[in-house]
Structure 1
């Protein structure tokens, strides 16, 4: 079967309208039918990222969409990734690798160059695949960003593709969102919109019909589908942390909600586990007692370390250890556990040295080269395999590394044995603290069970996060079938 559109772009009336999941759903539906389909997002701004098969870095949402299409993630799927490091600046990643750190004004000027990279990736994908499903960013109605736009209508006009506009009815004001967005577009941009999708509807569809009729009469464009609100999905978040907590279990895990927290998808398996109660502790919230405290990854280790100290976390961590609790530090959180974080070159901002938490005997030196790799191996503290990936800037050194957390090797096809593997991470002498540069350590069912046992939860039931993700993709694809049928009937 062929799909009637070589390129179709999904744009949203707002952020979090459902663009990422809709692209994933269409990719799964087309892949089921034998169409060679690929996801594409010209520009993404997110602190959740994934390592690709070609050794680069892309947004986590595009890695999910690649899974839906049955493909390994590749840097061409997300040629421009912006990772905010402050309120006005971001690390600019082009074709999977760091190009520069820029403030918002400088990046706006850089967009002309960025568009060249975007079109290079698009052309490569266009030569390899039958269909490209494109995800926009934010909203095309952001008038202040229209000049040099590469993320929404600027891209659609450059490649001359149709656009489907999705809006979230659960937010309220869905008709105003759609009509207002159209009103902010130019005539040529408005003509590209071939129809609307109303997302996350719950209730009696007959009560919505009057509004749908009004919208179609007002705009002259069809409502292609009304998609239901689906509960209980296990999907990678592109950036924002989901507000709903997982089922409350008896094993308490807390994670400080750092201002620049990155790759919080590390905790998806814990959130989904029926025995675990995972809570993110935000600014100003009291720090409760817990069985396990995890310090997450950070896009600005020194800045977030200062935030931890201001919020009283050092005292809470020491008290937690005195009562026998366990601590895990991941990536930036691992660096914070050491004696110092040294940034002589101003990699994360102003050059300087920040005193660490002093819980592991190691120091970290920030460096300009980013470590990007996928790894597999075994836990050093249990007979269990582990999979993960590294995305970090900095090198840690010190005596604590002599007692590793994992034994790994870079070749992802084979499991490393301790005799020929690389030691990774560190554990404290009393084995109450574990630090690692590996993201995704809880995704492997064996590693999840071993880490929970190390933390104090014995005999945890198995949980396969990848299987949950696959099932969730299938659910959203099944719900999106009416949209695919409507698109086919338009042509």
Structure 2
């Protein structure tokens, strides 16, 4: 018996960080648990948190997680365009999983004629394959200055005649003004697609809303269909990280160097959510000597991140930390920064740079980007991860192999690898903890994530509209 094709559901926000990604994730898992063949879609995402498919193609981490929520294999059709900021006014453009340098050179508003066919083809392929597509917008559809180049908000909704739900972050305040103002900025044909308003991240007594939702419906004709509570979870964030944490006595304290263009920070979630570990993002000068370990994460622009370390004086603190003999771990861009040199002959980042010189490695930034999933035998177990980097690194004779000969190196107390996602694997997590005097209590993070997705879907089933 053929399955029923349903109208796409589209989640748009009054602002960035209104909670669109999490709501799409919740809906995907809720519908998948009901036996509906569902897929997520976001035409264009901007984030330095990326994932690699089994085909070696790059896509946004949020859509990758949404695919897992939907219980399907992640595909670049779910996020055909990914923008990765690498300077204040420049982003690398990923189209269908690969870097497109020609598109990146075009002015923002001139890109639509090239990218819109990519968007519609990807969306069409999902509509052909799945019963239900759940679409995520970007930013806000009320950004009038960007409307002519829109390929992610109302252009998509009109193209597929989606049922649109407009979300406001009520924790910020001003939600009813946001909802009314956003609705007022839409064209008549766009307003017809709005099926409901959603209040998200609500804390406190719902009675405090009074008759505000009735007032809003009177003004717009649109009902408020859900009041979603502020929900704490342990799922990967799209492009943010918890700041403000400080060193705590009596805890295992790990410093995470939070330089500009830091990327793929979600891979440290297993550290972030462990009760016996205090992961402290360090983004300005401070004494690092009291920490138990130091991590330099990936970077979308290693040269610019290195410059930021030097301008803040953190470079000297990192060099001083090495003298303590405690572990320093560099991942991808962090690996390059810790080495002797970063050569950039094509000027893809910041030109040639002298690294921190804490491990005898030399990296050349190349045009070709390495993107692939990998797995290794590590300590008698299978260690899985993924590569996503432009640099090709050579090691001097005094450097040892770490994990595998083409993926990582160590020298004294400095360990470096191009392999992302390794903390998701309990065998690596436990090895790392053994080196720094921590508790070896790593868990199966994939199973933990799956359980978190089910809890999220349960919450949405109680407070959502589906």
Q: TM-score per shorter chain, which class?
A: over 0.9
> Could you say which residue in structure 2 is the equivalent of 1:358?
357
Structure 2 gaps of 5+ residues are none
> Could you say which residue in structure 1 is the equivalent of 2:456?
476
Separation (CA, whole Å) in 2 of partners of 1:234 and 1:247: 22
Question: Which of 408, 417, 424 does residue 425 from structure 1 map onto?
Answer: 408
> Could you say which residue in structure 2 is the equivalent of 1:235?
235
- Answer yes or no: is the 8 Å Cα contact 1:148–1:154 preserved in 2: no
Q: Spell out the pairing of 1:229-308 with structure 2 (5 A cutoff).
A: 229-231=230-232, 233-243=233-243, 250-284=251-285, 287=288, 289-308=290-309
Q: CA-to-partner distance for each residue in 1:117-156, whole Å, 9 max, x for gaps?
A: 1111111111111110000011111111100200101111
- Answer yes or no: is the 8 Å Cα contact 1:197–1:223 preserved in 2: yes
Separation (CA, whole Å) in 2 of partners of 1:101 and 1:465: 38
Aligned Cα root-mean-square deviation (Å): 2.2
Question: Which of 382, 390, 394 does residue 393 from structure 1 map onto?
Answer: 390
1:85 aligns with 2:86: yes
- Answer yes or no: is the 8 Å Cα contact 1:79–1:96 preserved in 2: yes
> Could you say which residue in structure 2 is the equivalent of 1:168?
169
- Relative to structure 1, the CA distance from residue 246 to residue 66 in structure 2 (aligned partners, 3 Å threshold; closer, same or farther) is farther
Question: Which of 399, 415, 422 does residue 441 from structure 1 map onto?
Answer: 422
CA positional deviation for 1:160: 2.0
Q: Which secondary structure state, in structure 1, belongs to the residue aligned with residue 87 of structure 2?
A: coil
Separation (CA, whole Å) in 1 of partners of 2:99 and 2:398: 28
- Answer yes or no: is the 8 Å Cα contact 1:153–1:189 preserved in 2: yes
Q: CA-to-partner distance for each residue in 1:293-321, whole Å, 9 max, x for gaps?
A: 11110111111111112222232122212
- Answer yes or no: is the 8 Å Cα contact 2:288–2:318 preserved in 1: no
- Answer yes or no: is the 8 Å Cα contact 1:339–1:362 preserved in 2: yes
Separation (CA, whole Å) in 1 of partners of 2:287 and 2:209: 43
- Answer yes or no: is the 8 Å Cα contact 1:246–1:272 preserved in 2: no
Separation (CA, whole Å) in 2 of partners of 1:323 and 1:103: 44
Aligned residues: 464
CA positional deviation for 1:285: 5.2
- Relative to structure 1, the CA distance from residue 303 to residue 247 in structure 2 (aligned partners, 3 Å threshold; closer, same or farther) is closer
Which deviates more from structure 2 when the two are superposed, residues 325-334 or residues 369-378?
369-378
- Relative to structure 1, the CA distance from residue 195 to residue 2 in structure 2 (aligned partners, 3 Å threshold; closer, same or farther) is farther
Separation (CA, whole Å) in 2 of partners of 1:283 and 1:109: 38
Q: Which secondary structure state, in structure 1, belongs to the residue aligned with residue 93 of structure 2?
A: strand
Q: Which secondary structure state, in structure 1, belongs to the residue aligned with residue 231 of structure 2?
A: coil
Separation (CA, whole Å) in 2 of partners of 1:401 and 1:384: 27
Q: Spell out the pairing of 1:158-237 with structure 2 (5 A cutoff).
A: 158-231=159-232, 233-237=233-237
Q: Spell out the pairing of 1:29-108 with structure 2 (5 A cutoff).
A: 29-100=30-101, 106-108=107-109
- Answer yes or no: is the 8 Å Cα contact 2:289–2:324 preserved in 1: no
CA positional deviation for 1:481: 1.4
Q: Which secondary structure state, in structure 1, belongs to the residue aligned with residue 290 of structure 2?
A: coil
Q: Which secondary structure state, in structure 2, belongs to the residue aligned with residue 424 of structure 1?
A: strand
> Could you say which residue in structure 2 is the equivalent of 1:416?
none
- Answer yes or no: is the 8 Å Cα contact 2:335–2:416 preserved in 1: yes
> Could you say which residue in structure 1 is the equivalent of 2:373?
374
Separation (CA, whole Å) in 1 of partners of 2:157 and 2:196: 15
Q: Which secondary structure state, in structure 1, belongs to the residue aligned with residue 111 of structure 2?
A: helix
Separation (CA, whole Å) in 2 of partners of 1:119 and 1:41: 11
Q: Which secondary structure state, in structure 2, belongs to the residue aligned with residue 62 of structure 1?
A: helix
Q: CA-to-partner distance for each residue in 1:164-211, whole Å, 9 max, x for gaps?
A: 111111111111110111111111111111101111112121222422
Q: CA-to-partner distance for each residue in 1:21-66, whole Å, 9 max, x for gaps?
A: 1111111111011111000000000000000122210100001101
> Could you say which residue in structure 2 is the equivalent of 1:418?
none
Q: CA-to-partner distance for each residue in 1:371-429, whole Å, 9 max, x for gaps?
A: 111111134xx55542211110010012268522113xxxxxxxxxxxxxx5421010x
Separation (CA, whole Å) in 2 of partners of 1:247 and 1:21: 30
Question: Which of 401, 406, 423 does residue 403 from structure 2 map onto?
Answer: 406
- Answer yes or no: is the 8 Å Cα contact 1:38–1:66 preserved in 2: yes
Which deviates more from structure 2 when the two are superposed, residues 394-403 or residues 47-56?
394-403
Question: Which of 462, 472, 478 does residue 442 from structure 2 map onto?
Answer: 462
CA positional deviation for 1:246: 10
Q: CA-to-partner distance for each residue in 1:429-461, whole Å, 9 max, x for gaps?
A: x2x11000011110111111111212x124422
